[in-house]
Structure formats: C-alpha cells, structure tokens
C-alpha cells in the first residue's frame, strides 16, 4: 500500500539510536542539547527547546505566554487539531480566520477584519497561530506588520514547513514570528519518532519553556538564591514532563543531516505531479506564491468532484483498491462536534475552508516514493481525469 506520507530511515539512523542507547544517560543527556544546538543553527534561531511532541510545544507556548480564560487566540480552520486544541489547554478562546482560496493559508485581509471586529467590541486579540499549510509559507511580512500594528503575539506552527523558504530564507520562521513550533512525527520532514521543539529569539520565553517542560523544577542560582545543598531544587509554577529522550535526539541529529536531500526529493516528486496535473480541467495543483519555496510536506490536489462523475468517497475506495491510501488534510476544525458544541461554530462560518475540504485530496509524497510508484499514481489519476 502506498500512503500519503511516511518516514525515511536508513542504517545510519538505526546505528545512531543504538549508539545512544549504550550511553549512561538515555534521557536528559548530552544528545538533547546537541540536537537543540543543531536545530537552532539550521533554522536560524537563538534558542531551541526540544520536547516530546509538536503538541507539547504548542501547549508550552500557551503556558509561557500566560494565556487564560477570556483571551482570544486566532488560527486557521485548515490545520491539524493540535494547533487549535493548544488554545483550549490554557482555557483561552479559539476563533478562526478563513483561508485564502489560492494559498490555503489564513487570509490576511480577513485576519485584519477579524481583529477589528473584536476591537469594536473593546477586545484585543492575544495571539495568532499561523500555519504554513502543506509546506507553503504564509505572507509573513504582512503577518508581522499586523502583529506590530495590533499588538498581538505571532506564532508560526511550522510543523509542515521545516525547510521551506520565504523570500529566499529557510530561517524565515523565527525571523518573523515570536515563537515557532516544530514536530518530528514520522510523516513530517524528518523524524524523532515523536518529538517537537519551540524555537524563539526571546531568551525569557525560552527559559520559561525549558522550566515548564520539566515540572517547573529549577536549580538556577538567580532563582533559588544561595546554595542550600547539592540536592536542592525549587518549584515556582506547575510544569509538565514534556521531555524528549537522548535516543530520539540521536535519531533527529542523524535525520537532520539528510533534511536537504529529503526536501529535494519532495520537490522533485511535486514537479512530476505538477507537470502531469497542471493543465487538467478538473484538477488544481498547489499554488506557490512568488515569496515562497514550498517544501511539500503534503501535496494537496484540489479535485472538482462536482464536475466529474465520481464522488470523493468512491474515488478514495477505488484508489485504495488499487493500493493507494489517500488522505484529506483537513476536516475544518470549526466543524468538529466539540468546537460546534462549545463555541457555537456552524457550517457556513468559513466557506473557503469548507469548499477546500470538499475538494482536497492529499496524494502520496515522501522521499522514498519510487519513480515507478509516482508514475503509477499519476497514470491512475489521469485515467480518471482525462476526458
Ligand atoms: C503534526 C502537527 C502538529 C502536532 O505535532 P505532534 O508532534 O504530532 O504532536 C501540530 N500542528 C501541525 C500543523 C501539525 O502538522
């Protein structure tokens, strides 16, 4: 079965993990710091805190920013649940901004309208979590401009876009956003099994996140004062155990070396899909704005099911019978029963996101997808869509 995405693991990765398991410390050891240093260097960030998942990274951000009841945080309805759930963890209020139908990212004009809508009610937006959907960066100059103009914290949920470029820079995420989250789940660009990071250039926020990822425990002299004994630690606020292990970081270090090759492979596959599907009447390939170099975590193909004879369910079934496991990214979050029930969201609230959901299909893209498999996917699709 060919799925929409999966990890690429080689013998170097396996050796790195086995070696790490033979060390004295298999967690809270030296590989974690080494991984953080390499991640910070690759993505141009001053600080990096590696944690147990991308979701943990998002949770810690809300805690470090002291989100709480009554705070309004905006995100896109077309993202993984964790982007929005992280707002709920802090008991803040989530709201959404519809996507731009071309880029599939949160629409800048509608964002400004929503901010002003709240301002008219005397309310201030606390933060915006923007997602570089599928690997296609948002319009970050405009986002930064709005964050400064309206004084909200700007977060880049960068889990799809590690290695994407914005205006020629793969270091763009930390440059424009105040905080950046990454995920190293096996379907992402590189993996630690489970894992994630928070990247920032803000020292105070980084220190707070490092404290919160490990129970809020500290031995820092500037916090606890005089040495009260080598065993001594203090806790000033409730933290979590969101640590990542040394053997996961060893895998991450080994994977990071190959990230550029992984990115090249993904872009090559996207190129052949683009060439095959670009001029087909009922298909829309991903749009790449002038400022963006896409990294294709996903290849979201937009299929106009209304104008063809097959519906989405039958199409999925047919492809599965032919050995291709498609996916949909994503069901708009505002349509999830929990969000509808808790916040009163309804069908029709975000029409661009909803019509995107009707048409979107994520087709196989991962570095080890063979040329013959790509051709197999393309031929099957063309058989369906060539008139
Ligand atoms: C994968 C992902 C996450 C969550 O990461 P985990 O490591 O799976 O917890 C969050 N946001 C987005 C956009 C993601 O794709």
pLDDT, averaged per 10 consecutive residues of the chain (387 residues), comes to 95 98 96 98 98 98 98 98 98 98 98 98 97 98 98 98 98 98 98 98 97 95 88 95 98 98 98 96 96 98 91 96 97 98 98 98 98 97 81
- Ligand 1 center to 160 CA (angstroms): 8
- Ligand 1 center to 118 CA (angstroms): 28
Q: Is 200 helix (H, G, I), strand (E, B) or coil?
A: strand
Which stretches within 121-231 are classed as H helix?
140-150, 172-176, 203-212, 221-224
List the one residue out of 230, 181, 236 whose CA is nearest residue 211.
Answer: 236
pLDDT tens for 26-68 read 999 999 999 999 999 999 999 999 999 999 999 999 999 999 9
Ligand 1: atom nearest CA of 83 is 11
Distance of CA 28 to the CA centre of its chain: 25
pLDDT of residue 328: 98
Pocket around ligand 1 at a 6 A CB cut-off: 53-55, 79-80, 82-83, 131, 157, 159-160, 183, 185, 196
Other Cβ atoms within 10 Å of 299 Cβ, number? 24
pLDDT of residue 39: 98
- Ligand 1 center to 54 CA (angstroms): 5
Between CA 146 and CA 143, with CA 130 as vertex, the angle to 5 degrees is: 20
Pocket test for ligand 1, best of 5, 51, 52, 54 (most atoms within 8 A of CB): 54
- Ligand 1 center to 318 CA (angstroms): 29
List the one residue out of 180, 201, 184 whose CA is nearest residue 192.
Answer: 184
Ligand 1: atom nearest CA of 188 is 1
| Residues ≥6 apart with Cβ < 8 Å to 247 | 17, 20, 21, 26, 31
Pocket test for ligand 1, best of 62, 82, 155, 156 (most atoms within 8 A of CB): 82
The owner of tokens 């069901």 is: 331
Q: Is 130 helix (H, G, I), strand (E, B) or coil?
A: strand
pLDDT tens for 168-193 read 999 999 999 999 999 999 999 999 99
**Residue with CA at minimum distance from ligand 1 atom 5:** 54
**Residue with CA at minimum distance from ligand 1 atom 2:** 159
- Ligand 1 center to 188 CA (angstroms): 9
pTM, full prediction: 0.97
pLDDT of residue 301: 98
């Amino acid at each position: 079965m060919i799925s929409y995405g999966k990890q690429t693991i080689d013998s170097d990765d396996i050796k790195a993990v086995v070696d790490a398991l033979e060390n004295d410390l298999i967690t809270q050891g030296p590989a974690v710091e080494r991984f953080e240093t390499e991640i910070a260097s690759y993505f141009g960030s001053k600080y990096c805190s590696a944690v147990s998942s991308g979701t943990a990274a998002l949770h810690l951000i809300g805690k470090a920013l002291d989100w709480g009841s009554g705070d309004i945080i905006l995100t896109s309805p077309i993202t993984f649940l964790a982007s929005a759930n992280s707002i709920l963890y802090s008991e803040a209020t989530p709201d959404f901004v519809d996507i731009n139908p071309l880029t599939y990212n949160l629409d800048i004009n509608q964002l400004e309208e929503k901010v002003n809508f709240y301002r008219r009610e005397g309310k201030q937006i606390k933060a915006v979590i923007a997602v570089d959907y599928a690997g296609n960066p948002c319009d970050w100059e405009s986002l930064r401009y709005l964050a400064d103009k309206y004084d909200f914290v700007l977060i880049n949920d960068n889990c799809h876009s590690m290695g994407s470029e914005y205006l020629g820079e793969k270091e763009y995420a930390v440059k424009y956003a105040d905080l950046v989250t990454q995920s190293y789940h096996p379907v992402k660009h590189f993996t630690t099994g489970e894992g994630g990071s928070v990247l920032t250039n803000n020292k105070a926020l980084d220190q707070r996140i490092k404290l919160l990822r490990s129970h809020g425990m500290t031995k820092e002299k500037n916090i606890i004062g005089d040495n009260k004994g080598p065993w001594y630690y203090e806790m000033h606020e409730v933290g979590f155990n969101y640590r990542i292990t040394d053997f996961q970081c060893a895998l991450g270090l080994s994977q990071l070396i190959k990230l550029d090759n992984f990115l090249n492979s993904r872009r090559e596959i996207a190129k052949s899909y683009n060439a095959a599907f670009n001029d087909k009447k009922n298909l829309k390939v991903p749009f790449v704005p002038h400022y963006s170099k896409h990294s294709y975590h996903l290849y979201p193909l937009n299929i106009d099911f209304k104008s063809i004879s097959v519906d989405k369910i039958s199409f999925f079934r047919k492809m599965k019978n032919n050995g291709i496991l498609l996916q949909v990214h994503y069901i708009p979050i505002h349509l999830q029963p929990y969000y509808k029930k808790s916040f009163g969201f309804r069908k029709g609230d975000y029409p661009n996101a909803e019509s995107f959901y009707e048409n979107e299909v994520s087709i196989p893209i991962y570095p080890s997808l063979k040329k013959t498999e790509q051709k197999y996917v393309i031929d099957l699709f063309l058989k369906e869509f060539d008139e």
